[in-house]
Amino acid sequence: MGKSRGIRLPQSFLEGLELDEEVEVEVRDGQLIVRPVPRPRRGWEKQFDGMTARGDDRLLDSRVFSLTAWDEEKWVW
Reported pTM: 0.45
Other C-beta atoms closer than 10 Å to the C-beta of 23 total: 14
Domain spans of the chain? 9-37
pLDDT at 73: 84
Q: What is the pLDDT of residues 13-66, one digit of tens each?
A: 888 887 777 889 999 999 999 888 888 888 889 999 999 999 888 777 666 667
The CA–CA distances, whole Å, from 71 to 28, 38, 42, 57, 67 equal 58, 40, 36, 27, 6
CB 23 within 8 A of CB 34: yes
